[in-house]
Structure 1
Amino acid sequence: MTALMEGLEITQDLLWLHFTVFLRVAPIIALFPGFGENSVPTRIKLGLALAMTAIVTPAVAPHLMSSGGMTAPLPGLVLTESGVGLLLGIGIRLFVLALQTAGSIAAQSTSLAQFLGGASTTPIPAMGHILVIGAVALAMILDLHVRLAEMAVLSYRVFPVSEGLSAPDVAQWGIARVAHAFGFAFTLSAPFVIASMVYNLTLGIINRAMPQLMVVFVGAPAITAAGLALLMLLAPTMLKLWVEALHGFLANPLGDG
């Protein structure tokens, strides 16, 4: 009977540990590139969250048991752990939004915003969709999911279990991450913006020199071809910079970007 009680107590502790880790891991998986897309079924996301929980829990179990996380009240535990997971998940998701924004800026600059229409559940130009799909595929090839597990383990050193988040710090961090996302998006799309500026300046000079020439009909195919050529040449560099920035965030989520 004593052995049975001890077994039940150990089982209860193990379930509580996995539940605590699941509260933090599940929001990250729900917002993670590739795993958290709208096209992925909810059951698949749940399975991925449970699998990641099984991977992370053995690594953080000693820390959770020594920090008093096992005795934390359930309502506070749910709120704090889900909040930390949501915070980290939003930080990762902003990189996908930055790439979509870069694709939208590039498409608008090169008259390709309506080219082939939207190719995903979100109404983004085809150029942005290509960049996002390429970035997610490249990230998975480079073991991004392994970096995710490392970040989840190390997050318990930065955000101890059942400790509340500081609202001013979270607000400052969120503003910095959003600003970084927009700045990063513009940096990636800068060559397309420069090409568009040169195109419009050239078009204006030609129009002043030859008012009778329909410069729009001559220039529209040129800027379209230039946009596609720039995408072909710059996409590898853009994706490389994106992956490096994402790996930097996973290594230091609280960095300034």
Structure 2
Amino acid sequence: MTELFAILTQLTGQSEEIWRQGFAIFLRLGALAALLPGFGEAAVPQRVKLGLALAFTLVVAPGVEVPALTLGGYGAEVVVGLALGLGLRLLVLALQTAGAMIANATSLSQILGGAGEPQPAIGHLLTMGGLALAMAADLHLRVAEFLILSYRLFPVGLLPDSGGMAEWGTAQVAQAFHLAFVLAAPFVAGSLIYNVAIGIINRAMPQLMVSMIGAPALGLGVLILLAILTPLVLTVWLSHLNGWLERPFG
């Protein structure tokens, strides 16, 4: 590792200390940037992700003091970056899970098809809408603030406590599923009421072809609900994302 820094110093004329600090910061930010909402999506080319990681490194480096690290210290930076990135990625998975719950509850799992990752179209719609809203709300600034804050939570070169991280990770998964159910709750409740009403009508009028009438009505009702509730659903999700970036450990 020292030989690499020496070669870079000869090629660029910059001090070895600058390269050593920049490399340590890049390891954490590179691991985290690969999982960031919006920046780390599968559709984003690897070169773009690398450029974003370098850009965030240039932004964060002036505010971080990096001591001399061993090989284990550099490895700890990668672990911290991956852990924080997975915490953020779970918020995107919450949107996708909410979309899957809505699609399954309303029998619209296959409508219009999906793009990118295999998921119902409603989940793709919510995910793309949430990411677009986050970008419009200056996600890059929130992420830069969060990256600088991460060095207060996890000093450079120190491996997090495994027990504490396991407990935190379990809580993040539980919170993601809770958020997904909250976002999908209006649609699930509406589907339950609809199916109960259809069951009562079918019992009262067995000769009526309930499915011929009910399926189009259900599809129309879900589309109307999506048009009305999607802005509210995405606003709630964005508030959770900003709250997580401000206080990732509660």
> Does the 8 Å contact 2:80/2:159 carry over to 1?
no
1:36 aligns with 2:40: yes
What's the TM-score once normalised by structure 1's chain length?
A: 0.91
- The equivalent of 1:3 in structure 2 is none
Q: Distance in 2 between matches of 1:214 and 1:170?
A: 55
- The equivalent of 1:144 in structure 2 is 139
Match of 1:31, SS state, is coil
Q: How big is the alpha-carbon RMSD for the aligned residues of Structure 1 and Structure 2?
A: 1.3
> Does the 8 Å contact 1:119/1:125 carry over to 2?
no
1:48 aligns with 2:52: yes
Runs of 4+ in 1 over 2 A off after TM superposition: 7-10
What amino acid is aligned across from residue 40 of structure 2 in structure 1?
Answer: G
Q: Distance in 1 between matches of 2:118 and 2:206?
A: 38
Q: Per-residue CA shift, 1:154-204, capped at 9, x if unaligned?
A: 111110111111111011000000000001000000000001100110011
> Does the 8 Å contact 2:103/2:109 carry over to 1?
yes
Q: Distance in 1 between matches of 2:84 and 2:212?
A: 48
Q: Per-residue CA shift, 1:119-153, capped at 9, x if unaligned?
A: 22x11111111111111111011101111010110
What amino acid is aligned across from residue 119 of structure 1 in structure 2?
Answer: A
What amino acid is aligned across from residue 169 of structure 2 in structure 1?
Answer: G
- The equivalent of 2:169 in structure 1 is 174
Structural mapping, 1:188-227, within 5 Å: 188-227=183-222
Match 1:72 to one of 62, 69, 72: 69
Q: Distance in 1 between matches of 2:228 and 2:174?
A: 27
Superposed displacement of residue 10, structure 1: 6.1
Gap runs ≥5 in structure 1:
1-6
Structural mapping, 1:72-91, within 5 Å: 72-73=69-70, 75-91=71-87
What amino acid is aligned across from residue 99 of structure 1 in structure 2?
Answer: L
- The equivalent of 2:23 in structure 1 is 19
Q: Distance in 1 between matches of 2:150 and 2:100?
A: 33
Percent of pairs with identical residues = 51
Q: Distance in 2 between matches of 1:51 and 1:213?
A: 64
- The equivalent of 2:119 in structure 1 is 124
- The equivalent of 1:100 in structure 2 is 96
